[in-house]
Structure 1
Amino acid sequence: MAAVRQPPPSPLVARLRLAPHSLVPRRIDGAWWPRTRDLLSEIPLLIGALPSGWGQITGVTVHTAMWSASPGRMLVANHVVRLRRESGSRDRHTICLLSPDHGRWDLLVVPPEVAAADAVPLMAAAAAGSRWPHP
């Protein structure tokens, strides 16, 4: 009897909703719902899902309380991304992405443990530019 081959697991993709392109600056440019609190595994997925028009992300700023410990920089797609952790001035439910000569983008971060029934409407509201309750 031949063994049944299972298909390889599908690669993870970032759970991301972005606001439509606009020339008017926004406070929040969309929402991201990571699967874990591990920046080293989550940031490459996030950066890989961003539009090419955002340019090469070289800096990421997060709130310290939201994430597990991580180094000050990491290699993503053969370029260095600096990770900056803040505790006071940054909203714990946002992430800031920086790209030289392209700009800055702030995303609402839906905590990984939030149920899909709650995460999906939060992400849609953030992408639409609506007010949302904190996760």
Structure 2
Amino acid sequence: MPVDRDSVLDGAWWPRSRELAAELPALLTALQERDVVVARVAYGPDSWEPAGRKTRVAGRVIALGWFRTIDPHSVSVTSLDGRDRLDLLVVPPDDDKALAGRAFALVLDGHDRDGASATLAAAADDSRLREPT
């Protein structure tokens, strides 16, 4: 899934709400289709409604933990075997489709070296993505 070894982010996610436990099943299913079985999810607490310390997804218990040091526009998922950790940009659910598309493109193209919040800000300032006149 990583596109560029110098990239900070391994992917992007656009949840439909700020309820982490409700949004995780779709994300974890998509990751499992890519052979990443998730055991824990770390997130910034200011971007999500309060969540418990654990949630059940597809019959498995997933540990949840919030850390104020995590970029509020990212989540970090750790695989069941502990070998893989993926850091994902989180596009806020109330942002529009065009912004989400630009943010995803920046991550996929490896233009995310300054982290999730900076990448999202760059996507919001789409002037750098436009063709020169």
CA RMSD of aligned residues (A): 1.9
Partners of 2:51 and 2:82 in 1: how far apart? 26
Letter in 1 for 2:77: L
Partners of 1:94 and 1:112 in 2: how far apart? 13
Over the matched positions of the two proteins, sequence identity in percent amounts to 30
Change (3 A) 1:111 1:25: same
**TM-score, length-normalised on structure 2?**
0.77
Which protein has the bigger helix share?
A: 2
Q: Give the secondary-structure state (helix, strand or coil) at the position aligned to 2:49.
A: coil
Does the 8 Å CA contact 1:54/1:103 hold for their aligned counterparts? no
**Structure 1 moving runs of 4+ over 6 Å:** none
**TM-score, length-normalised on structure 1?**
0.76
Change (3 A) 1:133 1:102: same
Partners of 1:76 and 1:25 in 2: how far apart? 32
Q: Please point out which of 61, 75, 86 is paired with 1:95.
A: 75
User: Structure 2: which 5+ residue stretches go unaligned?
Assistant: 113-118, 125-133
Alignment of 1:46-125 (within 5 A): 46-87=27-68, 89-99=69-79, 100-125=81-106
- In the other structure, the counterpart of 1:6 is none
Alignment of 1:4-15 (within 5 A): none
Does the 8 Å CA contact 2:43/2:65 hold for their aligned counterparts? yes
User: Structure 1: which 5+ residue stretches go unaligned?
Assistant: 1-17
Q: Give the secondary-structure state (helix, strand or coil) at the position aligned to 2:37.
A: coil
Q: How many residues align?
A: 115
How far residue 112 of structure 1 moved from its aligned partner, in angstroms, is 0.3
Q: Which has the larger Rg?
A: 1
